[in-house]
A = this chain, B = another copy of it.
């Protein structure tokens, strides 16, 4: 039996797989638009006759849900939908874990949107059919990123070494997190132009720098030209490529391939922003924007001037349209409809077995530091474990929401000692269950642990 595949993060997909998705999507797009095919409307590619897609949405949506449903219908399948948490069994207090276990019997694929970071990963742990993340809290929205990259392809750009500026709420926007990971993996330069206080989360920065080959360009090199840029990342697959990217004495190329705008994610934050960047024709009048694709995941609520709608650079409605062929490709590859061998042949996606897992199942000890992580949900958390990936000797990543923990201390459950300066030895993680992590010394003391006297590696 083939391994069950999920798409909870853009990093679940290899570059090869992403390119396969684009190739299948191009084919579908061609068929959808072919004026010579018999029906002018209502054309269905119809390779997936009889398949059922379930959309389980715990947050408002029109675009994403309808585009998934439309994609499944165009493939010849059908969909069932739970679009409103208030009228679903969640209103009766049912956990996501139970819901997906049950819904796995009703449908061939589950598409899930949830307000909690890491919800899709939790769902994937319990589902017996493929789960696709349609947005989980501020974590990720991988199929949006596939649409975004496909849009750039269709706009005639080369995905390698793109020059992309990103504006708005980089903290709360899950689409941005998936997007920057993908951009970095394709070797892009990324100019971050966040609204004040809405900078990219620290763990995303860390990952760009430590896992995705990015380095931050010193501010002096670009500040004069791009005063509103907060951080400029450059990526290089190999060190010698750096000179290829920055052909202008180390300065970033002037031509911006894409200006990606995002709205303020009001559903994630308590207040309103004091100021929020608006992108309009004035902003885009500089020569470096002359061939820029203006992008937006939509909905927009004011940060992108509607006067741009008739600007030839405005790519955002085309971008939305690509949602259908892209999601057709994702569905058909995950379910094995397409002629291509599909996603199933790449076990484990982009992160196969890269990190050891530290599974702290006891009630005591460290939990994810992200208050919006699914593990902190009173109901859902009972079905999650305190599970971390060991991404560096003294760094943990939450298995669900992928937030990082850089500060913690290690205790030994047998000796009841703890040390403040010890990393987690890989051997402990692999072989034993006798270590326990704490957020800090106070937490360890409160749990009845005592500090080791001398500083040493072993506890």
Interface of A with B (CB < 8 Å)? 39-44, 46, 48-52, 54, 56-57, 60-63, 65-67, 69-70, 73-74, 76-84, 86-95, 98-99, 101-103, 105-109, 129, 263, 266-267, 298-301, 306, 317, 320-321, 323-324, 335-336, 382-383
Cα–Cα distance between A320 and B182 once the two chains are bound (Å): 39
For the A-B complex with A41-B336, A52-B74 known, give 11 more contacts whose Cβ atoms are closer than 8 Å.
A39-B49, A41-B335, A42-B335, A52-B70, A57-B87, A61-B89, A66-B103, A69-B106, A92-B299, A105-B323, A105-B324
Could you say which of B42, B99, B301 contacts A51, with CB atoms under 8 Å apart? Answer: B42
Could you say which of B49, B60, B94 contacts A91, with CB atoms under 8 Å apart? Answer: B60
- On chain B, the residues within 8 Å of A48 by CB distance are 41-42
Cα–Cα distance between A63 and B52 once the two chains are bound (Å): 15
A42 lies within 8 A of B52 (CB)? yes
Q: Nearest chain B CB to A272's CB is how many angstroms away? A: 12
Cα–Cα distance between A41 and B129 once the two chains are bound (Å): 10
If A66-B82, A80-B70, A324-B106 touch, whether A50 touches B39 (CB-CB below 8 Å) is: yes
Q: Would you mind naming 24 contact pairs between A and B with Cβ atoms under 8 Å apart?
A: A44-B49, A50-B74, A50-B76, A52-B73, A52-B74, A56-B62, A60-B88, A62-B88, A62-B89, A66-B103, A69-B80, A70-B107, A73-B78, A82-B83, A83-B83, A84-B87, A92-B299, A93-B266, A98-B299, A98-B300, A102-B320, A102-B321, A105-B321, A106-B323
- On chain B, the residues within 8 Å of A95 by CB distance are 299
Q: Which residue of B lies closest to A73 (CB)?
A: B78
Could you say which of B57, B84, B301 contacts A93, with CB atoms under 8 Å apart? Answer: B301
- On chain B, the residues within 8 Å of A317 by CB distance are 101-102
Cα–Cα distance between A67 and B102 once the two chains are bound (Å): 9
A42 lies within 8 A of B50 (CB)? yes
If A39-B50, A50-B42 touch, whether A82 touches B62 (CB-CB below 8 Å) is: yes
Cα–Cα distance between A250 and B170 once the two chains are bound (Å): 72
If A62-B99, A89-B62 touch, whether A106 touches B41 (CB-CB below 8 Å) is: no
- On chain B, the residues within 8 Å of A54 by CB distance are 66
B301 lies within 8 A of A94 (CB)? yes
If A70-B80, A306-B383 touch, whether A49 touches B60 (CB-CB below 8 Å) is: no
- On chain B, the residues within 8 Å of A44 by CB distance are 49-50
B60 lies within 8 A of A86 (CB)? yes
Q: Nearest chain B CB to A108's CB is how many angstroms away? A: 4
Q: Which residue of B lies closest to A300 (CB)?
A: B98
- On chain B, the residues within 8 Å of A101 by CB distance are 317, 320
Q: Which residue of B lies closest to A91 (CB)?
A: B60
Cα–Cα distance between A300 and B99 once the two chains are bound (Å): 10
Could you say which of B40, B77, B263 contacts A42, with CB atoms under 8 Å apart? Answer: B77
**7 closest cross-chain pairs (CB), A and B:** A42-B51, A94-B299, A44-B50, A105-B321, A41-B108, A70-B106, A93-B301
B80 lies within 8 A of A83 (CB)? no
A89 lies within 8 A of B63 (CB)? yes
- On chain B, the residues within 8 Å of A69 by CB distance are 80, 106
Q: Which residue of B lies closest to A50 (CB)?
A: B44
If A66-B103, A107-B70, A382-B306 touch, whether A40 touches B78 (CB-CB below 8 Å) is: no
Cα–Cα distance between A41 and B57 once the two chains are bound (Å): 22
Q: Nearest chain B CB to A306's CB is how many angstroms away? A: 6
Cα–Cα distance between A259 and B107 once the two chains are bound (Å): 28
